[in-house]
């Protein structure tokens, strides 16, 4: 087994390696992140390269494909380099699968970006894909190679349980998130609230209404991602106006683009829980006091270890 990381996910990869070394048998040598480099040209073109041999190895390449598009391109080029260097198998470990919101034609003359990215990964030489909380479950079917679809509920549910929140309710931010909310509610033994939203255009919410018992409840909104946080903050305002005692949120992927940090800090949201599939900003001028990061690295490490050793992985999923 050889593990490598592209530039956007080096920090996450270090955590995965640390977690892998905790679960490996004592007789196996310590696992290290493989040596790789990226040659950059003055016009912006770049060329990934492996500094060590990968011949005959199972190569795991870690990279989240959040914007800019160079992150996806770097992953594709690295997969291609591994195949051309005679790797036996190449497994693309993608903590956040970008373009997943383009999973269907929701209006005429648009692309299905998720299918295109799936085709690109397979064409580059990926023999297997490992990812987390796809925007739509059916994206797994876009691939002609095995897909390991991890769920952040594996880390979120135990953490929420540890908080011992009274009068807890789980809320879905839209109708599409009802199944995810129901899973959380079942394990937390609490009721579900469904928010219904209508959009004027992408990233702009026109109105939100909530279905369910809200008054005097401590509500956690669960979602797969937070982009501008517009939906989230508007839903929190509506729930508080309906008599909620507090509103928090947990979302797997913290894209947090545009004015997301300001929207969260200026809202009535008590806390936002996200994972480290996308790195949090390191800008010292940005207030992240409302944001709690929970690591998915141990879950990815466990799956990588089991895939490498041909062990069943069904125990890693929360149903």
Which band of pLDDT confidence, cut at 50, 70 and 90, is reported for residue 205? low
Tell whether the model's pLDDT for residue 25 goes beyond 90. Answer: no
- List, in sequence order, every residue forming a beta bridge with 64; answer none if it has no partner: none
- pLDDT value for 26: 81
Q: How many CB atoms lie within 10 A of CB 105?
A: 10
pLDDT in tens, 158-171: 999 999 999 999 99
Q: Is the pLDDT of residue 208 over 80?
A: no
**Active site residue ranges:** 197
What is the C-alpha to C-alpha distance for residues 239 and 210, in angstroms, rounded to an integer?
7
The least confident of 32-36, 207-211, 292-296, 305-309 is: 207-211
Q: Residue 123's beta-bridge partner residues? A: none
The pTM of the whole model exceeds 0.85: yes
Distances from the Cα of 44 to the Cα of 51, 70, 314, angstroms: 21, 10, 42
pLDDT above 80 (res 279): yes
Angstrom distance (rounded) from CA 88 to CA 191: 48
Q: Which pLDDT score is estimated for 18?
A: 96
The candidate with the shortest Cα–Cα distance to 213, out of 247, 239, 251, is 239
Q: How confident is the model at residue 41 (pLDDT cuts 50, 70, 90)?
A: very high
Mean pLDDT of the 58-69 span: 97
Give mean pLDDT, residues 109-126.
97
Q: What is the pLDDT of residue 202?
A: 61
pLDDT at 166: 96
pLDDT digits (tens, 9 = 90+) for 9-19: 999 999 999 99
pLDDT at 154 over 80: yes
pLDDT digit string, tens, across residues 182-202 = 999 999 999 999 987 665 566
**Is residue 203 over pLDDT 60?**
no
Q: Is the pLDDT of residue 112 over 70?
A: yes
The percent of residues in the chain predicted with pLDDT above 90, rounded, is 84
Span 219-239, pLDDT tens digits: 999 999 999 998 889 889 989
Residue 173's pLDDT band, with cuts at 50, 70 and 90, is confident
Q: What is the mean pLDDT of residues 192-213?
A: 74
Sign of CA dihedral 209, 210, 214, 219: negative
Give the residue-averaged pLDDT of 23-42.
90
236-239 CB contacts, 8 Å cutoff, 24+ apart: 236/267, 236/268, 236/269, 237/267, 237/268, 238/195, 238/208, 238/209, 238/210, 239/171, 239/193, 239/195, 239/210, 239/214
Residue 28: closest CA among 309, 319, 232, 229: 309
Residue 122 confidence class, pLDDT cut points 50, 70, 90: very high
Averaging pLDDT over each range in 60-64, 104-108, 202-206, which range is the top one?
60-64
Do residues 175 and 194 touch, judged by C-beta distance below 8 A?
yes
Q: What is the structure's pLDDT at 201?
A: 62
Residues 6+ apart with CB under 8 A from 39: 46, 47, 48, 49
Q: Is the pLDDT of residue 152 over 90?
A: yes
- pLDDT at position 86, please? 98
pLDDT at 71: 97
Higher pLDDT, 272 or 29: 272
Q: What does the H/E/C string look like for the chain?
A: CEEEECHHHHHHHHHHHHHHHHHCCCCCCCCCECCEEEEECCCCCEEEEECCCCCCCEEEEECCCCCCCHHHHHHHHHHHHHHHCCCCEEEEEECCCCCCCCCCCCCCCCCCHHHHHHHHHHHHCCCEEEEECCCCHHHHHHCCCCEEEECCHHHHHHHHHHHCCCCEEEEECCHHHHHHHHHHHHHHCCCEEEEEEEEEECCEEEEEEEECCCCCCEEEEEEEEECCCHHHHHHHHHHHHCCCCEEEEEEEEECCCCCHHHHHHCCCCCCEEEECCCCCCCCCCCCCCCEEEECCHHHHHHHHHHHHCCCCCHHHCCC
């Amino acid at each position: 087994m050889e593990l490598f990381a592209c530039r956007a996910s080096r920090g996450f990869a270090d955590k995965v390696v640390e977690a892998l070394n905790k679960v490996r048998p004592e007789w196996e040598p310590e696992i290290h992140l493989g040596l790789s480099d990226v040659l950059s040209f003055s016009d912006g073109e770049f060329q990934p390269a492996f500094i060590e041999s990968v011949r005959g190895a199972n190569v795991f390449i870690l990279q989240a494909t959040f914007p800019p598009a160079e992150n996806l391109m770097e992953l594709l080029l690295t997969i291609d380099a591994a195949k051309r260097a005679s790797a036996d198998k190449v497994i693309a470990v993608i903590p956040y699968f970008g373009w997943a919101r383009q999973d269907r034609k929701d209006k005429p003359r648009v692309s299905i970006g998720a299918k295109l990215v799936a085709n690109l990964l397979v064409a580059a030489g990926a023999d297997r894909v490992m990812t987390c909380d796809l925007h739509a479950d059916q994206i797994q079917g876009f691939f002609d190679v095995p897909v390991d679809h991890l769920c952040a509920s594996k880390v979120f549910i135990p953490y929420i349980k540890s908080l011992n929140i009274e009068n807890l309710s789980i809320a879905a931010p839209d109708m599409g998130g009802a199944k995810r909310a129901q899973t959380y509610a079942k394990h937390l033994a609490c009721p579900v609230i469904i928010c219904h939203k209508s959009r004027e255009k992408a990233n702009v919410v026109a109105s939100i209404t909530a279905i369910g018992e809200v008054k005097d409840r401590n509500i956690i909104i669960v979602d797969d991602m937070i982009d501008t946080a517009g939906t989230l903050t508007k839903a929190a305002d509506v729930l508080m106006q309906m008599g909620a005692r507090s509103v928090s949120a947990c979302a797997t992927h913290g894209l947090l683009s545009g004015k997301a940090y300001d929207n969260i800090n200026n809202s009535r949201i008590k806390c936002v829980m996200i994972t480290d599939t996308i790195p949090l900003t390191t800008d010292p001028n940005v207030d992240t006091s409302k944001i709690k990061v929970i690591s998915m690295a141990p879950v990815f490490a466990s799956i990588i270890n089991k895939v490498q050793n041909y062990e069943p992985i069904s125990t890693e999923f929360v149903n």
